[in-house]
Structure 1
């Protein structure tokens, strides 16, 4: 077919003229666009081509230009700025695959001219785990133009993607179409980088490329969110007491035929200065040089020399043999037979890190050197791209995690080490980080010697492909496992009947490791309580001194801007446990260290944003009520009791302890509830949502009842619009819970909606005897009045309670306006 491809190639030098002319001679090519970051002097030679000036050929701005100019079915894009020449019918073969296969993106093998020699350069098939940003597509890809347009539409308009636009494109393509590898050599590439593979493999951690890495990480993290594979900082606890071990740590050295280096490695391990006992387990994998004799020459009781009975072990198999040996210590620490520890304190620092960071694996920092320990490029490899929040996600994008590596032996025995000689450490790092914390040490612990004897110093293309295919397979397995793990982590999207969360076990575990939370929860059994009955409703007043933090909180913008947000994970105590919930936005369930009720929890969003609720967050509330069916999930508007109006969050407490919610649930039998309106009903699916008014409570409140999250959300949106219009944005408290109605054994969702006129009553700001430090939040409005000061607890009475609740609630005139607008 004629004119079905637009080509976008990079200007390098005069060789670009030849490439452009080749493409223009192709029948299927419509037009050639030359992308250049500078003015082209010989542009007269490029007649028939359109020159597109772009500051960065790989930026979002450039990809948006390509999308605008892609008015043909297919677009050919050059991805590397190297001279190329098109092979016989190369363009046609690419269009054939896009036309006849369910593909949106194709690439092919190519010929490579390097140092005047032409060699075949095969590439590997794309799989779900081919997510590293340096995946080798070669320098030419062809993409369906409508896919590029869709991709650009999805991109963030406020971000330029300075280095990552093509990465974004192929990750998007992998989600919506097939990415096909054509096993044919369709073009020739002139290789300009003549470094050995052993030198190139560390480019991704070169500090000069840090900005590129940050850009790529952002794109990749968004991709993980899109496919529901992103993990959040919720970690399994590690048990350092599990099992009996003869020593605290073992240095593991797998070796085969390293007579030039093994002596230095062993001495490096023997010379460690530690406060604990350790040994050195050397797995000599049937060396045929003098390695075995050199190991035997060490007459030191720390050295354990193992020669495997099997002959089929790779490096990973040697590791597995060592860690399952009964002489292995509690921690297994890496030392490759080529390398050295940087000081006598390395082993002590690694073991200390395990205990300090409560982690299952520790990774240090190493220095690249030659055989004589002279530093060589890129020098220090510290993997500072790792972060507590996102390290284990970003680990899938890069090709390694650092060294030296150390593991909790009991966990490693359970997981098992893959019996391979490449990538076994990476596989372990991904597997462990899926559930456990990895500790990092950002000081040089290790001298990594590069020399001609290294197994990866100069690999063939075929061997590189084998290695990359293996790691991509590991990533594929890990991505699938993480997606499944997230499904188990109680997704509350799309009304998908989530599993129940064992809240009691979670709280018990938290109490065991956080003395402050345990002390404050136990203190609730000893606080003073006064009981009242007002308008037929039970009202309690509690003297809870610990709640002074909330009741006395300064909530003006200046005060909030000066304090660290206590709901952001990075600012929370080390003892604080988190349980991740994936709703329309991600949340953590956390215990409240300053509780009002036993089992009081806080549920902050993982991202920092203001305390304003929208329809999706309300849906999440209802979903959470299914995950914790014995709990009420409640919300304070930013001026209605929220002590953190700068960070979106819910709270939760047992339904049995909130009298108002428990007693009002059986709405059909209560005379003091009258139906405002059946706002929504779907007869076909027997779904409904109704809104009732209770005007016999101290302050008017509404009860929303339904059996459909969709219809309940519609009811809420209607109510919210009216309240926001008449009282101000989110001037209300919300309580939601779910329950099974015994008479017909059906599920119901309940929401108490309490509109408010202001945050704090006049007595809060009064002076002298009239002052009372009472700042009503949701629980106060539901009849559980908190008094942090003893003098306020002593003098409060039923009349004062009525006055406070009436003052912050709404009056009859406002109620009439809301009712009229609802109708």
Structure 2
């Protein structure tokens, strides 16, 4: 039997399709998904529900699909005959001109594009589909990338393409191929693309093809070349545009010598004569002897010419540089960053230089940390492109007229840094004569198959590089295994009787939920920290209990690979509660130690979380820098993280790290989701945007963090008060609650029994809000972040 799922729509076609499916005896159920169809939550729910049947059918555009005659029977027969995890088929496309066949392409290992066309009807073996969602989505909260991450987790060898048209789709996107190809750089799609990059990066890590940031410098000597830069223009039959392109170069103002190498690929429309009309000695006219060169072959001919400069800079024969500083800025970037390739930004325009949609193509999805990995997901890298000649001479372009630039870009990014200039340097002039203006489906398929093949080749190379020995025969240093804190905790209980007793007592503490965001714990042992005096005199009068000489003899210090050593917390409120103490007696301040905070996070098992109490935010030892940590699963905001991030509001970010506002929790909070080790810059921005209390050296914050296999999640609770009014009240109004990170995260610790029994959900929410920044103050922080 087959379970069928589709996004909800009130459209009459969707209702008719659902009714037709329900009447088929091979379909066990038809379920409509109301919200966020492509989210992690939706795909995991569909996978779980579909386990009752052998197969699952997902129809992504039910309002545009009509199933072919006998399609369900054909699918059922294929399910019985073939061994696949996923099946997709060709279909008919209903256009204004009638019904046309719409062939699709075969899936291959390098088919990493998130816009790969599978059509709108997908069939899965239910068990494999469930396993893929568990592997790809279990620790995610994607709003858009649930489907993309799931299909990446399905082995490419088990994704089957059937060359039969089994259904019909209505054509809705009537734009030309030349317009559609830039959808992924449209700023309106930025949130979507951020998630797609995260999913792709996770996948590359899972198959051992992920590369850390590239650091190799391109070593060049400009004096070894006749000129510093050469502009390369391959051309064939562009008599209408070639002069404009040449003049665009000749007007460049530079502090170095340059020339133009024009590879005239056997033009016969007057282009050759147009080139020869220039008498400027900087114009070098090359006519190849061969008649089998594509654009890549023309590039090889130019870069191997003895007149080629140290840097080879691209200009297509249809296009122009945006102003007379383009060439100088590109060379400056090479000199500053010693990169192997520089890519600028361009503006789409017509022949009157009026902007055309989508306008500026700046590829801001590129980051130094992850651009070289994300390059395997996107279909282009930008323009103008420029290369270090000595490097590309050893890595020739493929002799094609499509994708040759992309092939070179992903190959170079495997080893070298790529420099980016996000200002417009180039004008891409669109007209009917452009080679990619309006391609047939057959030509689009051919191009997409080729680029997928380039990615397949590159994946193989990167997996080899990431294997036990790299391409150069050098043994790779493997990351250390996470520290087993659980074992160390058990060892400590066996040699410290008082501590062992407190750990046993923790198993019997009472915890009760007050609402979906807040629970309360009764823990009399915590009176020590809840009631701690932290004024300057009190701190000066007592020995620091985190310094080596003042700790109990039984308390063992464990190294973590950072400057923070692990100590079991003598008065635990969490399972396997640790304190991570700085090696020197220095004040509590997180920004100075944030790099080690995240390093510590990655040095321990992902079963643990760590947290920071600011000096006036719950820290009982504000004079000695320290973090704390414990096993995950007891603090509500972490336990319910899937729900909170699903409802979060995106503020800003890059493709490797994003900052959100948590909008559905008991108190204000910010969250950073980031690839390993990339959260610092957003944290620093947030830290700097928060108000600084008078007389303090840092904003009042509590910080909590945990991780999965590839990402770190950082929660920041912005504070304005150390303790609520009820802390110092008398009588029935008194509540001995002094919020630290654990309390701010929704687990309020009460050392008094009367508070445990008497505290209400409204009181608890009020306490957390009282010590937090107000809504107006949060708005000011967000405005500061968005400046």
What is the TM-score normalised by the length of structure 1? 0.59
Distance 1:613 1:210, change over 3 A: closer
Q: Does 1:340 align with 2:336?
A: no
Distance 1:555 1:372, change over 3 A: farther
Q: CA deviation at 1:9?
A: 5.1
Distance 2:303 2:278 in 1: 21
SS in 1 for 2:169: strand
Distance 1:274 1:565, change over 3 A: farther
Q: How many residues end up aligned between the 2 structures?
A: 512
Distance 1:16 1:179 in 2: 27
Distance 1:332 1:388 in 2: 22
Distance 1:319 1:68, change over 3 A: same
Q: CA deviation at 1:124?
A: 0.3
Q: Does 1:73 align with 2:63?
A: no
The residue aligned with 1:31 is 29
The correspondence for 2:600, drawn from 609, 618, 643, is 609
The residue aligned with 2:168 is 188
Distance 2:603 2:22 in 1: 57
Q: Does 1:83 align with 2:84?
A: no
The correspondence for 1:152, drawn from 127, 133, 143, is 133
The residue aligned with 1:792 is none
Q: Deviations over 1:232-291 (max 9, x none)?
A: 014333211288211111000011111111111100011111111000000111112121
Distance 1:216 1:345 in 2: 35
Distance 1:614 1:169, change over 3 A: closer
The residue aligned with 2:466 is 486
The correspondence for 1:249, drawn from 229, 233, 253, is 229
The residue aligned with 1:315 is 295
The residue aligned with 2:16 is 18
The residue aligned with 1:558 is 588
Distance 1:453 1:253 in 2: 17
Distance 2:585 2:11 in 1: 62
Distance 1:329 1:16, change over 3 A: same
The correspondence for 1:117, drawn from 98, 123, 140, is 98
Verify the 8 A CA contact 2:209 2:466 in the aligned structure 1: yes
Distance 1:168 1:139, change over 3 A: same
Q: Deviations over 1:421-450 (max 9, x none)?
A: 000000001100011110000100000111
SS in 2 for 1:435: coil
SS in 2 for 1:609: helix
Q: Deviations over 1:576-615 (max 9, x none)?
A: xxxxxxxxxxxxxxxxxxxxxxxxxxxxxxx643485569
Q: Based on CA coordinates, which of the two structures has the bigger radius of gyration?
A: 1
Q: CA deviation at 1:556?
A: 4.7
Segment of structure 1 superposing worse, 436-445 or 17-26: 17-26
Q: CA deviation at 1:61?
A: 1.9
SS in 2 for 1:180: strand
Verify the 8 A CA contact 2:303 2:393 in the aligned structure 1: yes
Structure 1 spans left out of the alignment, 5+ residues:
36-53, 492-496, 503-546, 569-606, 618-638, 648-823
The residue aligned with 2:196 is 216
Q: Does 1:206 align with 2:186?
A: yes
Distance 1:436 1:109, change over 3 A: same
The residue aligned with 1:408 is 388
Distance 2:121 2:192 in 1: 21
Distance 1:311 1:67, change over 3 A: same
Verify the 8 A CA contact 1:12 1:83 in the aligned structure 2: no
Distance 2:602 2:356 in 1: 51
Distance 1:646 1:452, change over 3 A: farther
Distance 1:249 1:62 in 2: 53
Q: Does 1:64 align with 2:44?
A: yes
Q: Does 1:168 align with 2:168?
A: no
Q: Deviations over 1:98-148 (max 9, x none)?
A: 433331001011100111411110000000000110000011111111123
Q: CA deviation at 1:81?
A: 5.7
Distance 1:410 1:21, change over 3 A: same
SS in 2 for 1:141: strand
The residue aligned with 1:437 is 417
Q: Deviations over 1:617-658 (max 9, x none)?
A: 9xxxxxxxxxxxxxxxxxxxxx9xx999899xxxxxxxxxxx
The correspondence for 1:288, drawn from 262, 268, 291, is 268
Distance 1:156 1:501 in 2: 29
Distance 1:7 1:646, change over 3 A: closer
Q: Does 1:373 align with 2:349?
A: no
SS in 2 for 1:318: helix
Q: CA deviation at 1:220?
A: 0.7
Q: CA deviation at 1:567?
A: 7.0
The correspondence for 2:73, drawn from 92, 98, 102, is 92
Q: CA deviation at 1:489?
A: 5.3
Distance 1:231 1:611, change over 3 A: closer
Q: Deviations over 1:792-821 (max 9, x none)?
A: xxxxxxxxxxxxxxxxxxxxxxxxxxxxxx
Verify the 8 A CA contact 1:555 1:645 in the aligned structure 2: no
Distance 1:558 1:121, change over 3 A: same
SS in 1 for 2:155: helix
Q: CA deviation at 1:156?
A: 4.7
Distance 1:614 1:32, change over 3 A: closer
Segment of structure 1 superposing worse, 92-101 or 464-473: 92-101
Verify the 8 A CA contact 1:4 1:73 in the aligned structure 2: yes
Q: CA deviation at 1:217?
A: 0.6
Verify the 8 A CA contact 1:490 1:498 in the aligned structure 2: yes
The residue aligned with 1:139 is 120
Q: CA deviation at 1:157?
A: 4.8
Distance 1:165 1:288 in 2: 51
Distance 1:118 1:612, change over 3 A: closer
Distance 2:190 2:179 in 1: 18
SS in 2 for 1:469: helix
Q: Deviations over 1:149-181 (max 9, x none)?
A: 223323455632101111011111136x61000
Distance 2:336 2:381 in 1: 20
Distance 2:373 2:63 in 1: 32
Distance 1:72 1:282, change over 3 A: same
Structure 2 spans left out of the alignment, 5+ residues:
479-562, 564-581, 609-620, 630-787
Verify the 8 A CA contact 2:14 2:62 in the aligned structure 1: no
Distance 1:468 1:18 in 2: 34
Verify the 8 A CA contact 2:94 2:170 in the aligned structure 1: yes
Distance 1:310 1:82 in 2: 53
Distance 1:487 1:318 in 2: 35
SS in 2 for 1:103: coil
SS in 1 for 2:600: coil
Distance 1:110 1:156, change over 3 A: closer
What is the TM-score normalised by the length of structure 2? 0.61
SS in 1 for 2:134: helix
Please provide the CA RMSD for this pair: 3.0
Distance 1:98 1:436, change over 3 A: farther
Q: Deviations over 1:382-430 (max 9, x none)?
A: 1111111110000001100111000000110100011000000000011
Distance 1:404 1:467 in 2: 21
Verify the 8 A CA contact 1:19 1:85 in the aligned structure 2: yes
Distance 1:371 1:500, change over 3 A: closer
Distance 1:12 1:469, change over 3 A: farther
SS in 2 for 1:425: helix
Distance 1:458 1:264 in 2: 24
User: How do 1:437-456 residues align onto structure 2 when only pairs under 5 Å count?
Assistant: 437-456=417-436
The residue aligned with 1:228 is 208
The residue aligned with 1:519 is none
Distance 1:113 1:615 in 2: 50
SS in 2 for 1:445: strand
Distance 1:615 1:427, change over 3 A: closer
